[in-house]
A and B are shown apart, each in its own frame.
Chain A
Protein backbone atom coordinates (compact mmCIF):
# COMPACT_ATOMS: atom_id res chain seq x y z
CA UNK A 1 0.00 0.00 0.00
CA UNK A 2 1.61 3.17 -1.24
CA UNK A 3 -0.07 6.51 -0.66
CA UNK A 4 0.41 9.21 -3.25
CA UNK A 5 -0.94 12.69 -2.69
CA UNK A 6 -1.87 14.51 -5.90
CA UNK A 7 -2.70 18.19 -5.69
CA UNK A 8 -2.07 21.49 -7.39
CA UNK A 9 -3.24 24.92 -8.49
CA UNK A 10 -3.05 26.34 -5.02
CA UNK A 11 -2.21 29.77 -6.45
CA UNK A 12 -0.85 31.04 -3.14
CA UNK A 13 -0.61 34.04 -2.72
CA UNK A 14 -2.12 35.30 -6.00
CA UNK A 15 -5.57 33.81 -5.70
CA UNK A 16 -5.73 32.26 -2.27
CA UNK A 17 -4.36 32.97 1.19
CA UNK A 18 -3.87 29.40 2.32
CA UNK A 19 -5.10 25.82 2.17
CA UNK A 20 -8.47 25.35 3.87
CA UNK A 21 -7.93 24.62 7.59
CA UNK A 22 -9.82 21.33 7.28
CA UNK A 23 -7.39 20.16 4.61
CA UNK A 24 -4.40 21.32 6.57
CA UNK A 25 -5.41 19.31 9.57
CA UNK A 26 -5.78 16.20 7.41
CA UNK A 27 -2.41 16.53 5.72
CA UNK A 28 -0.05 15.28 8.37
CA UNK A 29 3.62 14.51 7.77
CA UNK A 30 4.75 10.93 7.71
CA UNK A 31 1.57 9.39 6.34
CA UNK A 32 2.21 9.84 2.62
CA UNK A 33 4.95 8.25 0.58
CA UNK A 34 4.91 10.51 -2.46
CA UNK A 35 3.52 13.87 -3.42
CA UNK A 36 2.90 14.83 -7.03
CA UNK A 37 2.00 18.40 -7.68
CA UNK A 38 0.64 19.67 -10.96
CA UNK A 39 2.02 23.18 -10.44
CA UNK A 40 0.96 26.79 -9.70
CA UNK A 41 1.89 26.63 -6.03
CA UNK A 42 3.15 29.47 -6.58
CA UNK A 43 5.81 30.38 -4.02
CA UNK A 44 8.66 28.59 -2.30
CA UNK A 45 6.84 28.73 1.02
CA UNK A 46 4.24 26.35 -0.34
CA UNK A 47 6.91 24.07 -1.74
CA UNK A 48 8.61 23.94 1.65
CA UNK A 49 5.30 23.12 3.30
CA UNK A 50 4.67 20.25 0.89
CA UNK A 51 8.20 19.01 1.39
CA UNK A 52 7.55 18.93 5.13
CA UNK A 53 4.64 16.57 4.54
CA UNK A 54 6.75 14.21 2.48
CA UNK A 55 10.31 14.51 1.22
CA UNK A 56 9.56 12.75 -2.07
CA UNK A 57 7.99 15.70 -3.82
CA UNK A 58 7.51 15.96 -7.59
CA UNK A 59 6.44 19.21 -9.18
CA UNK A 60 5.83 20.35 -12.72
CA UNK A 61 5.81 23.96 -13.78
CA UNK A 62 2.64 26.01 -13.75
CA UNK A 63 2.50 29.29 -15.65
CA UNK A 64 2.38 31.33 -12.43
CA UNK A 65 5.02 29.45 -10.51
CA UNK A 66 7.85 31.51 -9.00
CA UNK A 67 10.25 28.64 -9.59
CA UNK A 68 10.58 28.50 -13.35
CA UNK A 69 13.10 25.71 -13.46
CA UNK A 70 10.64 22.92 -12.74
CA UNK A 71 10.13 20.57 -15.70
CA UNK A 72 7.17 20.87 -18.07
CA UNK A 73 6.42 17.16 -17.67
CA UNK A 74 7.59 14.42 -15.36
CA UNK A 75 7.23 10.68 -15.28
CA UNK A 76 7.81 8.33 -12.37
CA UNK A 77 7.16 4.73 -11.52
CA UNK A 78 5.43 3.80 -8.30
CA UNK A 79 4.90 0.12 -7.78
CA UNK A 80 3.33 -1.33 -10.90
CA UNK A 81 2.17 2.03 -12.20
CA UNK A 82 3.80 4.59 -14.42
CA UNK A 83 2.64 8.06 -13.59
CA UNK A 84 2.87 11.18 -15.70
CA UNK A 85 2.66 14.71 -14.40
CA UNK A 86 2.06 17.96 -16.27
CA UNK A 87 0.42 21.22 -15.30
CA UNK A 88 -1.85 21.23 -18.34
CA UNK A 89 -1.74 24.79 -19.64
CA UNK A 90 0.46 23.38 -22.42
CA UNK A 91 -2.27 21.05 -23.67
CA UNK A 92 -4.74 22.87 -25.86
CA UNK A 93 -7.72 22.88 -25.73
CA UNK A 94 -7.51 23.21 -21.97
CA UNK A 95 -9.21 20.36 -20.18
CA UNK A 96 -9.92 18.51 -23.40
CA UNK A 97 -9.73 14.83 -22.55
CA UNK A 98 -8.80 13.65 -26.00
CA UNK A 99 -5.88 16.03 -26.12
CA UNK A 100 -4.84 14.91 -22.67
CA UNK A 101 -5.06 11.33 -23.86
CA UNK A 102 -2.56 12.25 -26.53
CA UNK A 103 -0.17 13.52 -23.87
CA UNK A 104 -0.71 10.31 -21.99
CA UNK A 105 0.24 8.30 -25.02
CA UNK A 106 3.26 10.50 -25.53
CA UNK A 107 4.50 10.03 -21.99
CA UNK A 108 3.54 6.38 -22.11
CA UNK A 109 2.05 6.30 -18.62
CA UNK A 110 -0.79 4.45 -16.94
CA UNK A 111 -1.94 7.43 -14.93
CA UNK A 112 -1.70 11.01 -16.16
CA UNK A 113 -2.15 13.74 -13.58
CA UNK A 114 -2.77 17.27 -14.82
CA UNK A 115 -4.36 20.44 -13.49
CA UNK A 116 -4.99 23.94 -14.77
CA UNK A 117 -8.81 23.72 -14.96
CA UNK A 118 -9.31 23.60 -11.18
CA UNK A 119 -11.95 20.99 -11.79
CA UNK A 120 -11.61 17.52 -10.35
CA UNK A 121 -11.92 14.78 -12.94
CA UNK A 122 -10.96 11.13 -13.09
CA UNK A 123 -11.39 9.60 -16.49
CA UNK A 124 -10.56 6.20 -17.76
CA UNK A 125 -9.91 5.64 -21.43
CA UNK A 126 -8.28 3.02 -23.55
CA UNK A 127 -4.80 4.21 -22.76
CA UNK A 128 -5.18 4.62 -19.01
CA UNK A 129 -6.47 7.05 -16.45
CA UNK A 130 -6.43 10.84 -16.52
CA UNK A 131 -6.79 12.53 -13.16
CA UNK A 132 -7.18 16.21 -12.35
CA UNK A 133 -6.99 16.83 -8.61
CA UNK A 134 -8.58 20.25 -8.98
CA UNK A 135 -7.41 23.20 -6.91
CA UNK A 136 -6.44 22.43 -3.34
CA UNK A 137 -7.41 25.95 -2.28
CA UNK A 138 -10.49 26.39 -4.47
CA UNK A 139 -8.69 29.19 -6.31
CA UNK A 140 -10.41 31.35 -8.93
CA UNK A 141 -10.34 29.91 -12.41
CA UNK A 142 -11.34 31.45 -15.70
CA UNK A 143 -12.27 27.97 -16.86
CA UNK A 144 -14.32 26.66 -13.95
CA UNK A 145 -16.93 28.50 -11.96
CA UNK A 146 -17.60 27.71 -8.30
CA UNK A 147 -14.43 25.82 -7.62
CA UNK A 148 -14.55 23.63 -4.54
CA UNK A 149 -11.19 22.98 -2.92
CA UNK A 150 -10.08 19.43 -3.69
CA UNK A 151 -7.15 17.06 -3.71
CA UNK A 152 -6.58 13.41 -4.53
CA UNK A 153 -5.02 10.58 -2.60
CA UNK A 154 -4.06 7.48 -4.55
CA UNK A 155 -3.60 4.16 -2.86
CA UNK A 156 -1.43 2.03 -5.11
CA UNK A 157 -1.51 -1.64 -4.31
CA UNK A 158 -0.20 -4.10 -6.87
CA UNK A 159 -2.16 -3.76 -10.08
CA UNK A 160 -4.90 -1.78 -8.45
CA UNK A 161 -5.15 1.90 -7.62
CA UNK A 162 -7.90 3.40 -5.53
CA UNK A 163 -8.35 7.09 -6.17
CA UNK A 164 -9.80 9.01 -3.23
CA UNK A 165 -10.96 12.50 -3.98
CA UNK A 166 -11.42 14.91 -1.09
CA UNK A 167 -13.64 17.87 -1.80
CA UNK A 168 -14.59 20.71 0.52
CA UNK A 169 -18.27 21.39 -0.16
CA UNK A 170 -20.11 23.96 1.97
CA UNK A 171 -17.58 23.64 4.71
CA UNK A 172 -17.62 19.85 4.90
CA UNK A 173 -15.02 17.46 3.55
CA UNK A 174 -16.64 14.92 1.27
CA UNK A 175 -14.75 11.85 0.09
CA UNK A 176 -15.37 9.78 -2.99
CA UNK A 177 -13.45 6.90 -4.38
CA UNK A 178 -12.82 5.33 -7.72
CA UNK A 179 -11.16 2.00 -8.43
CA UNK A 180 -8.86 1.33 -11.34
CA UNK A 181 -7.16 -1.90 -12.25
CA UNK A 182 -4.32 -2.53 -14.61
CA UNK A 183 -4.50 -5.60 -16.75
CA UNK A 184 -0.82 -6.20 -17.17
CA UNK A 185 2.20 -5.41 -15.12
CA UNK A 186 4.54 -2.68 -16.29
CA UNK A 187 6.93 -3.94 -18.88
CA UNK A 188 10.07 -2.19 -19.92
CA UNK A 189 10.12 -1.37 -23.60
CA UNK A 190 12.18 -3.85 -25.54
CA UNK A 191 14.80 -2.73 -28.02
Chain B
Protein backbone atom coordinates (compact mmCIF):
# COMPACT_ATOMS: atom_id res chain seq x y z
CA UNK B 1 0.00 0.00 0.00
CA UNK B 2 1.32 3.30 -0.94
CA UNK B 3 -0.25 6.59 -0.45
CA UNK B 4 0.90 9.99 -1.39
CA UNK B 5 -0.39 13.33 -0.47
CA UNK B 6 0.08 16.58 -2.18
CA UNK B 7 3.43 18.05 -1.50
CA UNK B 8 5.76 20.50 -3.06
CA UNK B 9 7.24 17.75 -5.09
CA UNK B 10 4.05 17.41 -6.91
CA UNK B 11 4.27 20.72 -8.61
CA UNK B 12 7.41 19.51 -10.21
CA UNK B 13 5.84 16.24 -11.11
CA UNK B 14 3.13 17.88 -13.09
CA UNK B 15 5.17 17.83 -16.18
CA UNK B 16 2.54 17.81 -18.83
CA UNK B 17 -0.16 19.96 -17.44
CA UNK B 18 0.46 23.34 -18.82
CA UNK B 19 -1.69 26.16 -17.63
CA UNK B 20 -4.65 23.91 -17.48
CA UNK B 21 -5.96 25.10 -14.21
CA UNK B 22 -5.96 28.77 -14.94
CA UNK B 23 -9.71 28.91 -14.82
CA UNK B 24 -10.70 29.11 -11.19
CA UNK B 25 -14.30 28.20 -11.76
CA UNK B 26 -13.50 24.51 -11.89
CA UNK B 27 -10.33 23.33 -10.27
CA UNK B 28 -9.61 19.62 -10.08
CA UNK B 29 -6.75 17.78 -8.51
CA UNK B 30 -5.91 14.39 -7.11
CA UNK B 31 -4.40 15.06 -3.73
CA UNK B 32 -4.27 11.48 -2.65
CA UNK B 33 -4.22 8.00 -3.98
CA UNK B 34 -4.15 4.58 -2.51
CA UNK B 35 -2.63 1.58 -4.09
CA UNK B 36 -4.04 -1.80 -3.32
CA UNK B 37 -2.61 -4.59 -5.34
CA UNK B 38 -3.51 -3.82 -8.91
CA UNK B 39 -6.06 -1.21 -8.11
CA UNK B 40 -5.26 2.37 -7.55
CA UNK B 41 -7.89 4.45 -5.82
CA UNK B 42 -7.60 8.09 -6.60
CA UNK B 43 -9.18 10.76 -4.54
CA UNK B 44 -10.54 13.32 -6.97
CA UNK B 45 -10.90 16.66 -5.37
CA UNK B 46 -12.92 19.43 -7.00
CA UNK B 47 -13.33 23.08 -6.18
CA UNK B 48 -15.81 24.98 -8.21
CA UNK B 49 -17.96 28.07 -8.51
CA UNK B 50 -20.14 26.61 -11.20
CA UNK B 51 -23.78 26.43 -10.29
CA UNK B 52 -24.24 23.10 -11.95
CA UNK B 53 -22.51 21.50 -9.00
CA UNK B 54 -24.29 21.09 -5.73
CA UNK B 55 -21.39 22.00 -3.52
CA UNK B 56 -18.42 24.27 -4.06
CA UNK B 57 -15.93 21.67 -2.92
CA UNK B 58 -15.98 17.90 -2.77
CA UNK B 59 -13.88 14.79 -3.04
CA UNK B 60 -14.78 11.42 -4.49
CA UNK B 61 -12.93 8.12 -4.77
CA UNK B 62 -12.30 6.96 -8.31
CA UNK B 63 -10.50 4.07 -9.94
CA UNK B 64 -8.64 3.88 -13.16
CA UNK B 65 -11.57 2.12 -14.83
CA UNK B 66 -13.79 5.06 -14.00
CA UNK B 67 -11.47 7.29 -15.94
CA UNK B 68 -11.60 4.94 -18.88
CA UNK B 69 -15.36 4.91 -18.70
CA UNK B 70 -15.43 8.69 -18.72
CA UNK B 71 -13.12 8.80 -21.69
CA UNK B 72 -15.16 6.27 -23.62
CA UNK B 73 -18.45 8.05 -23.02
CA UNK B 74 -16.94 11.27 -24.26
CA UNK B 75 -15.52 9.60 -27.34
CA UNK B 76 -18.89 8.09 -28.06
CA UNK B 77 -20.68 11.37 -27.73
CA UNK B 78 -21.48 12.51 -31.22
CA UNK B 79 -21.37 16.18 -30.50
CA UNK B 80 -17.76 16.04 -29.36
CA UNK B 81 -16.59 14.66 -32.66
CA UNK B 82 -15.07 17.97 -33.56
CA UNK B 83 -12.82 18.13 -30.55
CA UNK B 84 -9.56 16.58 -29.70
CA UNK B 85 -10.58 14.32 -26.91
CA UNK B 86 -7.98 14.24 -24.18
CA UNK B 87 -6.24 10.90 -24.31
CA UNK B 88 -7.21 8.45 -21.62
CA UNK B 89 -4.59 7.90 -18.96
CA UNK B 90 -2.64 4.69 -19.39
CA UNK B 91 -3.33 1.82 -17.07
CA UNK B 92 -1.28 1.97 -13.92
CA UNK B 93 1.72 -0.20 -14.50
CA UNK B 94 3.62 -1.31 -11.48
CA UNK B 95 4.98 -4.38 -13.15
CA UNK B 96 8.49 -2.99 -13.46
CA UNK B 97 9.14 -2.19 -9.85
CA UNK B 98 7.13 -5.14 -8.68
CA UNK B 99 9.17 -7.52 -10.72
CA UNK B 100 12.31 -5.97 -9.40
CA UNK B 101 10.99 -6.25 -5.89
CA UNK B 102 10.45 -9.90 -6.55
CA UNK B 103 13.95 -10.35 -7.84
CA UNK B 104 15.27 -8.50 -4.88
CA UNK B 105 13.47 -10.87 -2.57
CA UNK B 106 15.03 -13.81 -4.34
CA UNK B 107 18.47 -12.31 -4.22
CA UNK B 108 18.21 -11.34 -0.60
CA UNK B 109 20.52 -14.06 0.58
CA UNK B 110 23.27 -13.18 -1.85
CA UNK B 111 23.83 -9.64 -0.71
CA UNK B 112 24.74 -7.87 2.44
CA UNK B 113 22.21 -6.24 4.66
CA UNK B 114 23.28 -2.75 3.70
CA UNK B 115 23.14 -3.56 0.05
CA UNK B 116 19.71 -5.06 0.45
CA UNK B 117 18.48 -2.10 2.39
CA UNK B 118 19.80 0.27 -0.21
CA UNK B 119 18.29 -1.70 -3.05
CA UNK B 120 15.00 -1.82 -1.29
CA UNK B 121 15.08 1.86 -0.67
CA UNK B 122 15.85 2.44 -4.29
CA UNK B 123 13.00 0.24 -5.39
CA UNK B 124 10.61 1.98 -3.11
CA UNK B 125 11.68 5.26 -4.57
CA UNK B 126 11.14 3.90 -8.03
CA UNK B 127 7.77 2.54 -7.06
CA UNK B 128 6.80 5.85 -5.63
CA UNK B 129 7.92 7.61 -8.78
CA UNK B 130 5.77 5.34 -10.93
CA UNK B 131 2.92 5.88 -8.55
CA UNK B 132 3.22 9.61 -8.68
CA UNK B 133 3.42 9.55 -12.41
CA UNK B 134 0.26 7.49 -12.55
CA UNK B 135 -1.57 9.94 -10.38
CA UNK B 136 -0.30 12.74 -12.49
CA UNK B 137 -1.53 11.44 -15.81
CA UNK B 138 -4.95 10.84 -14.34
CA UNK B 139 -5.02 14.29 -12.96
CA UNK B 140 -3.95 15.80 -16.25
CA UNK B 141 -6.75 13.98 -18.00
CA UNK B 142 -9.34 15.53 -15.72
CA UNK B 143 -7.74 18.91 -15.95
CA UNK B 144 -7.79 18.83 -19.70
CA UNK B 145 -11.49 18.09 -19.54
CA UNK B 146 -12.17 20.76 -16.97
CA UNK B 147 -10.31 23.39 -18.94
CA UNK B 148 -12.23 22.68 -22.12
CA UNK B 149 -15.27 24.88 -22.66
CA UNK B 150 -17.43 21.98 -23.81
CA UNK B 151 -16.18 19.03 -21.88
CA UNK B 152 -16.42 20.80 -18.59
CA UNK B 153 -20.16 20.96 -19.04
CA UNK B 154 -20.44 17.32 -19.89
CA UNK B 155 -23.00 15.54 -17.81
CA UNK B 156 -20.97 12.41 -17.38
CA UNK B 157 -17.95 14.40 -16.38
CA UNK B 158 -19.92 16.16 -13.70
CA UNK B 159 -21.26 12.88 -12.45
CA UNK B 160 -17.76 11.55 -12.39
CA UNK B 161 -16.66 14.46 -10.28
CA UNK B 162 -19.60 14.71 -8.00
CA UNK B 163 -21.19 11.34 -7.36
CA UNK B 164 -19.91 10.46 -3.95
CA UNK B 165 -20.45 6.71 -4.21
CA UNK B 166 -18.44 4.20 -6.10
CA UNK B 167 -19.26 4.63 -9.77
CA UNK B 168 -18.82 0.89 -10.04
CA UNK B 169 -18.71 1.11 -13.77
CA UNK B 170 -19.03 -2.20 -15.36
CA UNK B 171 -15.77 -3.62 -16.65
CA UNK B 172 -15.78 -4.31 -20.31
CA UNK B 173 -16.65 -7.89 -20.94
CA UNK B 174 -14.91 -10.06 -23.45
CA UNK B 175 -17.40 -9.30 -26.19
CA UNK B 176 -17.03 -5.61 -25.77
CA UNK B 177 -13.29 -5.93 -25.64
CA UNK B 178 -13.43 -7.80 -28.88
CA UNK B 179 -15.89 -5.29 -30.21
CA UNK B 180 -13.47 -2.53 -29.37
CA UNK B 181 -10.73 -4.36 -31.10
CA UNK B 182 -12.94 -4.95 -34.10
CA UNK B 183 -13.94 -1.32 -34.19
CA UNK B 184 -10.32 -0.34 -34.23
CA UNK B 185 -9.70 -2.69 -37.15
CA UNK B 186 -12.61 -1.22 -39.03
CA UNK B 187 -11.42 2.23 -38.24
CA UNK B 188 -7.94 1.52 -39.54
CA UNK B 189 -9.33 -0.03 -42.69
CA UNK B 190 -11.71 2.86 -43.04
CA UNK B 191 -8.87 5.31 -42.61
CA UNK B 192 -7.15 3.71 -45.54
CA UNK B 193 -10.33 3.78 -47.58
CA UNK B 194 -11.19 7.36 -46.97
CA UNK B 195 -7.62 8.49 -47.37
CA UNK B 196 -8.45 8.43 -51.04
CA UNK B 197 -11.08 11.08 -50.50
CA UNK B 198 -9.85 14.31 -51.89
CA UNK B 199 -9.23 16.91 -49.26
CA UNK B 200 -11.03 20.13 -49.89
CA UNK B 201 -9.35 22.22 -47.24
CA UNK B 202 -5.65 22.91 -47.48
CA UNK B 203 -5.31 23.44 -43.77
CA UNK B 204 -6.56 19.96 -43.04
CA UNK B 205 -4.51 18.50 -45.79
CA UNK B 206 -1.41 19.99 -44.21
CA UNK B 207 -2.44 19.03 -40.72
CA UNK B 208 -3.05 15.51 -41.81
CA UNK B 209 0.32 15.14 -43.40
CA UNK B 210 2.03 16.76 -40.50
CA UNK B 211 0.29 14.68 -37.88
CA UNK B 212 0.88 11.44 -39.73
CA UNK B 213 4.53 12.16 -40.05
CA UNK B 214 4.86 13.59 -36.60
CA UNK B 215 3.12 10.73 -34.94
CA UNK B 216 5.54 8.26 -36.50
CA UNK B 217 8.50 10.33 -35.42
CA UNK B 218 7.30 10.96 -31.94
CA UNK B 219 6.44 7.34 -31.45
CA UNK B 220 9.94 6.46 -32.46
CA UNK B 221 11.44 9.16 -30.27
CA UNK B 222 9.38 7.97 -27.35
CA UNK B 223 10.54 4.43 -27.78
CA UNK B 224 14.14 5.56 -28.02
CA UNK B 225 13.82 7.85 -25.07
CA UNK B 226 12.28 5.06 -23.06
CA UNK B 227 15.13 2.82 -24.02
CA UNK B 228 17.61 5.47 -23.11
CA UNK B 229 16.11 6.16 -19.73
CA UNK B 230 15.76 2.48 -19.07
CA UNK B 231 19.39 1.89 -19.79
CA UNK B 232 20.29 4.57 -17.33
CA UNK B 233 21.39 1.97 -14.85
CA UNK B 234 24.52 3.79 -13.88
CA UNK B 235 23.04 4.54 -10.50
CA UNK B 236 22.52 0.84 -9.82
CA UNK B 237 26.11 0.15 -10.73
CA UNK B 238 27.30 2.93 -8.51
CA UNK B 239 25.32 1.40 -5.75
CA UNK B 240 26.87 -2.01 -6.27
CA UNK B 241 30.33 -0.55 -6.56
CA UNK B 242 29.86 1.42 -3.41
CA UNK B 243 28.74 -1.71 -1.63
CA UNK B 244 31.62 -3.74 -2.96
CA UNK B 245 34.07 -1.03 -1.99
CA UNK B 246 32.70 -0.99 1.49
CA UNK B 247 33.03 -4.73 1.71
CA UNK B 248 36.59 -4.51 0.58
CA UNK B 249 37.27 -1.80 3.09
CA UNK B 250 35.70 -3.78 5.88
CA UNK B 251 38.42 -6.39 5.74
CA UNK B 252 41.19 -3.92 5.63
CA UNK B 253 42.95 -1.95 8.25
CA UNK B 254 45.61 -0.07 6.41
CA UNK B 255 45.64 3.34 4.83
CA UNK B 256 43.97 1.58 1.97
CA UNK B 257 40.79 1.31 3.99
CA UNK B 258 40.36 5.03 4.20
CA UNK B 259 40.63 5.46 0.47
CA UNK B 260 38.17 2.72 -0.18
CA UNK B 261 35.70 4.09 2.28
CA UNK B 262 35.98 7.54 0.88
CA UNK B 263 35.54 6.18 -2.58
CA UNK B 264 32.51 4.19 -1.52
CA UNK B 265 31.05 7.31 -0.04
CA UNK B 266 31.57 9.22 -3.25
CA UNK B 267 29.88 6.51 -5.24
CA UNK B 268 27.00 6.41 -2.85
CA UNK B 269 26.49 10.13 -3.23
CA UNK B 270 26.93 9.97 -6.97
CA UNK B 271 24.37 7.24 -7.07
CA UNK B 272 21.77 9.56 -5.60
CA UNK B 273 22.55 12.30 -8.04
CA UNK B 274 22.61 9.91 -10.95
CA UNK B 275 19.31 8.48 -9.78
CA UNK B 276 17.71 11.88 -9.75
CA UNK B 277 19.16 12.65 -13.12
CA UNK B 278 17.67 9.52 -14.59
CA UNK B 279 14.28 9.96 -13.02
CA UNK B 280 14.08 13.62 -13.98
CA UNK B 281 14.97 12.78 -17.52
CA UNK B 282 12.29 10.15 -17.51
CA UNK B 283 9.76 12.54 -16.11
CA UNK B 284 10.54 15.61 -18.16
CA UNK B 285 11.49 14.10 -21.46
CA UNK B 286 10.14 10.62 -21.83
CA UNK B 287 6.86 11.39 -20.16
CA UNK B 288 6.40 14.44 -22.32
CA UNK B 289 6.99 12.45 -25.46
CA UNK B 290 4.73 9.71 -24.24
CA UNK B 291 1.92 12.10 -23.51
CA UNK B 292 2.17 13.77 -26.84
CA UNK B 293 2.23 10.46 -28.61
CA UNK B 294 -1.17 9.87 -27.12
CA UNK B 295 -2.34 13.40 -27.69
CA UNK B 296 -1.34 13.29 -31.32
CA UNK B 297 -3.26 10.10 -31.65
CA UNK B 298 -6.24 11.95 -30.27
CA UNK B 299 -5.71 14.69 -32.84
CA UNK B 300 -5.45 12.10 -35.55
CA UNK B 301 -8.71 10.63 -34.34
CA UNK B 302 -10.28 14.02 -34.79
CA UNK B 303 -8.99 14.16 -38.34
CA UNK B 304 -10.36 10.73 -38.95
CA UNK B 305 -13.76 11.70 -37.70
CA UNK B 306 -13.72 14.74 -39.94
CA UNK B 307 -12.52 12.72 -42.90
CA UNK B 308 -15.26 10.24 -42.18
CA UNK B 309 -17.76 13.05 -42.17
CA UNK B 310 -16.35 14.30 -45.43
CA UNK B 311 -16.68 10.88 -46.97
CA UNK B 312 -20.22 10.65 -45.66
CA UNK B 313 -20.99 13.99 -47.17
CA UNK B 314 -19.65 12.96 -50.53
CA UNK B 315 -21.56 9.74 -50.35
CA UNK B 316 -24.68 11.67 -49.53
CA UNK B 317 -24.01 13.89 -52.50
CA UNK B 318 -23.78 10.85 -54.69
CA UNK B 319 -26.90 9.47 -53.14
CA UNK B 320 -28.65 12.71 -53.78
CA UNK B 321 -27.57 12.70 -57.39
CA UNK B 322 -28.79 9.17 -57.73
CA UNK B 323 -32.06 10.03 -56.09
CA UNK B 324 -32.52 12.99 -58.38
CA UNK B 325 -31.77 10.81 -61.36
CA UNK B 326 -34.31 8.31 -60.26
CA UNK B 327 -36.60 10.98 -58.97
CA UNK B 328 -37.13 8.93 -55.89
CA UNK B 329 -36.64 9.88 -52.23
CA UNK B 330 -35.12 13.12 -53.27
CA UNK B 331 -36.24 14.99 -50.20
CA UNK B 332 -34.80 12.41 -47.90
CA UNK B 333 -31.55 12.42 -49.74
CA UNK B 334 -31.45 16.16 -49.71
CA UNK B 335 -32.05 16.14 -46.02
CA UNK B 336 -29.33 13.58 -45.53
CA UNK B 337 -26.92 15.50 -47.69
CA UNK B 338 -27.65 18.68 -45.78
CA UNK B 339 -27.06 17.00 -42.50
CA UNK B 340 -23.80 15.56 -43.66
CA UNK B 341 -22.66 18.86 -44.88
CA UNK B 342 -23.62 20.50 -41.65
CA UNK B 343 -21.82 17.92 -39.66
CA UNK B 344 -18.80 18.18 -41.79
CA UNK B 345 -18.72 21.93 -41.62
CA UNK B 346 -19.12 21.84 -37.91
CA UNK B 347 -16.35 19.35 -37.56
CA UNK B 348 -14.12 21.34 -39.83
CA UNK B 349 -14.71 24.50 -37.95
CA UNK B 350 -14.16 23.18 -34.46
CA UNK B 351 -11.41 20.92 -35.72
CA UNK B 352 -9.50 23.84 -37.08
CA UNK B 353 -9.77 25.64 -33.79
CA UNK B 354 -8.81 22.56 -31.84
CA UNK B 355 -5.83 21.77 -33.96
CA UNK B 356 -4.54 25.29 -33.78
CA UNK B 357 -4.81 25.35 -30.03
CA UNK B 358 -3.33 21.91 -29.89
CA UNK B 359 -0.28 23.14 -31.73
CA UNK B 360 0.13 26.05 -29.39
CA UNK B 361 -0.33 23.79 -26.39
CA UNK B 362 2.24 21.37 -27.66
CA UNK B 363 4.85 24.04 -28.23
CA UNK B 364 4.30 25.49 -24.80
CA UNK B 365 4.50 22.06 -23.20
CA UNK B 366 7.71 21.22 -24.99
CA UNK B 367 9.21 24.52 -24.07
CA UNK B 368 8.32 24.17 -20.45
CA UNK B 369 9.55 20.62 -20.17
CA UNK B 370 12.74 21.14 -22.08
CA UNK B 371 13.63 24.13 -19.97
CA UNK B 372 12.85 22.27 -16.79
CA UNK B 373 14.80 19.26 -17.87
CA UNK B 374 17.78 21.34 -18.87
CA UNK B 375 17.74 23.17 -15.61
CA UNK B 376 17.55 19.94 -13.69
CA UNK B 377 20.36 18.44 -15.70
CA UNK B 378 22.49 21.44 -14.95
CA UNK B 379 21.55 21.33 -11.32
CA UNK B 380 22.43 17.67 -10.97
CA UNK B 381 25.64 18.00 -12.90
CA UNK B 382 26.63 20.91 -10.69
CA UNK B 383 25.87 18.83 -7.64
CA UNK B 384 28.09 16.10 -8.98
CA UNK B 385 30.83 18.54 -9.72
CA UNK B 386 30.91 20.00 -6.27
CA UNK B 387 30.65 16.55 -4.79
CA UNK B 388 33.53 15.29 -6.84
CA UNK B 389 35.65 18.33 -6.27
CA UNK B 390 35.22 18.02 -2.53
CA UNK B 391 36.03 14.34 -2.55
CA UNK B 392 39.08 14.75 -4.72
CA UNK B 393 40.40 17.39 -2.42
CA UNK B 394 39.86 15.25 0.63
CA UNK B 395 41.53 12.30 -1.03
CA UNK B 396 44.44 14.37 -2.14
CA UNK B 397 44.96 15.92 1.22
CA UNK B 398 45.41 12.73 3.14
Q: Do A and B associate with each other? A: no
Which A residues have a C-beta under 8 Å from some C-beta of B? none
Chain B: residues with CB nearer than 8 A to chain A? none
